[in-house]
Homo-oligomer: A and B are copies of this chain.
Amino acid sequence: MAGNLLVAQGGGPTAVINCSLVGVIEEAKSFQGEGIDKIIGALQSVDGLIKENLVDLGLENSTNLKKICGRPGAALGSCRRKVTEEDCERILEVFKKYDVHYFLYNGGNDSMYTAHNVEKLAQSIGYELSVVGIPKTIDNDLAFTDHCPGFGSAARFIATATREIGIDIESLPTPVSIIETMGRNAGWIAAASAIAADNEGDAPNLIYFPENSFNIDLFLSDVATVFSKWGRVVVVVSEGIKDAAGQYLGSIKSEAAKDGFGWAMPGGTATFLSGLVAEKLKLRSRSEKPGLAGRTSIANVSLVDQGEAYLVGQAAVRAVLAGKSGIMMTLQRDAGSSYKCSIGEAPLEKVANAEKLLPPEFMNSKRNYISDAFLEYCKPLIGDPIRSFASLNLHRLVV
């Protein structure tokens, strides 16, 4: 089979999403005329695919491609479209019109679900199409892969920010600071903040994960305990934490404020908890929510993450050329004491229907911090150790 290859970027960007794209383009270029004809990009993902907003990526200049690797956002653009059966039919029409026989989709669960459906439809109508998924998500919630490209850099960001904020808080004691992370229903990013702590008492002191139902009384008691020991508390919470009734913490205040201004979006979890600490514990408290900065900060890119993002893109091209289809490329951690990953694969259908949450063995028994096993898992993914900071020796003066 020979034909054109089409690549698209789905869902939320990561700090290294474009490395996967460049991996695809550079690898595909090296096979142009030997299996691959045109290298086509869909602008704004499935939206552009459906509207035939397509570009010829084979014409991109090599020097510029190197720079694209270090760019935040999705260089081709992405979209939030819920892909319907009709959309899939239209996609196949476009594929036929543009002679596309290789489809690479870089994204998370939803994108893998779309890729799977497009492949099924192609098979049912007898259209020759190889479909391979390229994993991507800061949330790290894709199954069948050790971790997801994008997560290592989000982890590096939150670990760095937590360490720096912790040092600030230690020098000018604000009793409580609550940092909200992204991650949706998965606690991976929140957990990664623990890399900031080198010594007992270092930030973060408490971490709350969306995998467990959040108990306000336990939380307040945890904060009070840490405060009485250290005189300051840095808490990291995932945006997705919910109470026992399954309600997002950040939306409780919408309820409380329903006669005033309602909130149409989730979020505001840290602001809510900070207000609660101030009111119930009478402690000065503040909140931070780096938000999108947590997935766009190029200064915090993990070089390991960047390299792996490129590799899975490259591997996807090799896979379709080897006649594979219906799979997502994965990262498989090799055995041994030093970190190394190999490229593997998993069926798109299985990936599409699974969500890998932070497992209990990566949390402590109280579910308010991580376990050592998590640190062992996560540390290699952020690349070089994060910046550490010197302290004065503070020779006490006595007269």
Contact = CB atoms under 8 A, between A and B. Distances in A.
Interface string A368-397: 000000000000000000010111111111
Nearest to A76: B392
Given A257-B257, A261-B256, A298-B164, A59 B393 contact: yes
Contact of A262 (B71, B271, B279, B387): B279
A58 B299 CA distance: 35
Given A253-B260, A393-B64, A164 B297 contact: yes
Q: How many copies does the complex hold?
A: 2
A32 B284 CA distance: 42
Contact of A67 (B43, B64, B78, B390): B390
Nearest to A47: B173
Contacts of A75: 171, 391-392
A255 B260 contact: yes
Interface in A77-102: 77-80, 97-98
A394 to B, nearest CB: 5
B172 A12 contact: yes
Contacts of A300: 299
B55 A396 contact: yes
A93 B32 CA distance: 82
B291 A287 contact: yes
Contacts of A391: 68, 71, 75
Given A164-B292, A256-B260, 16 more contacts: A40-B397, A57-B392, A59-B395, A64-B392, A67-B390, A68-B391, A73-B172, A77-B172, A160-B299, A179-B291, A257-B257, A263-B275, A264-B278, A265-B285, A289-B289, A299-B300
